Chain A
Amino acid sequence: MKIKSDWWKILGVVLVLFSLFQGLMGRVPVLPILHETIRNIYYHVPMWFAMVILFVFNAVYSIKYLSSGNEHHDNIAVEAANVGLFLGVLGLLTGMLWAKYTWGEAWSNDPKQNSAAIGMLVYLAYFVLRGSLDEAQKRAKISAVYSVFAFPVMIVLLFILPRLTDSLHPGNGGNPGFNKYDMDNQMRMVFYPAVIGWILIGVWVMQIRVRLLEITNQILEN
């Protein structure tokens, strides 16, 4: 561990710890239906933020792979998708738990829930595609092209389609979230550190997985 290059890992841990503490102890607006569950915003939403950032890594490194043919770029792309998908599943599960006690049902076929689930499937298909190709270079190239298309589809599914219809989820349809009634400025001061912290931890886990993959390949080659 070198402080100079790894300081962001410590920063991620510190930020998340802060959000764990202040997320429970901080003052939150008193709202009907939500009650104390408004604090979930510090733990549920950062999962999605981190997932989107990791999928950005996936798309960027896929494009980089296509232009360079460098195996390292493909390794980053695949592990970013891996960690991103994992965080997305956590986001779905925490969302279901939250929905159970605020919307009445864990899964109410809400547009946001449905399209988030489809978005997960799009990235699951990425791994099915990779698993079905034996030749390493072909696998890297075809899956890189796939993720270039998967990324905008995921963005549309998560952030555009649900907003065109009515949804129970804040930020959509006739139910705009992140407004002054849902989250005040004091909440934001916990929320944004939480988001940044979880993004850093997600990227850290991705980095560990990439290094693990590369050292394994290296040992297998020798």
Chain B
Amino acid sequence: MKKIFILCLLTFVAQWAFAQEPTAAPVEMADLLRSSGKIYVVIGTISVVFIGLAIYLFSIDKRLSKLEKEHK
């Protein structure tokens, strides 16, 4: 399990090794969420939706575990 997580982490990190492309620094005082055509806002929205769904699934899972314990 630990090995798999480390493998994943390394895979993810390797992605960003490619992501840096040399460009002239923009003068604009843009923070992260306002850069790249505000695409990070979209990613934020998608992530919120998906994390919400995941939490929902986890809570269903937890409630089920409780029910299973009670009915054993």
Residues of A within 8 A of B (CB): 1, 6-7, 9, 11, 13-18, 20-22, 24-27, 186, 189-190, 193, 201, 204-205, 208, 211-212, 215, 218-219, 222
Provide the bound-state CA to CA distance between A193 and B11, in Å. Answer: 9
A-B contact count (CB 8 A): 70
Residues in chain A near residue B42, CB distance under 8 A = 24
CB distance from A181 to the nearest CB of B (A): 19
Interface size grouping (class) on chain B: 20 to 34
Residues in chain B near residue A18, CB distance under 8 A = 8, 12
Provide the bound-state CA to CA distance between A121 and B61, in Å. Answer: 30
Could you tell me if B68 and A186 are in contact, using CB atoms closer than 8 angstroms?
no
| A189 and B15 contact, Cβ closer than 8 Å, known pairs A1-B65, A24-B43 | yes
Residues in chain A near residue B39, CB distance under 8 A = 24-25
14 A–B contact pairs at CB < 8 A? A1-B61, A1-B65, A7-B1, A13-B51, A20-B43, A20-B47, A21-B47, A24-B42, A27-B19, A193-B11, A205-B57, A208-B60, A215-B64, A218-B71
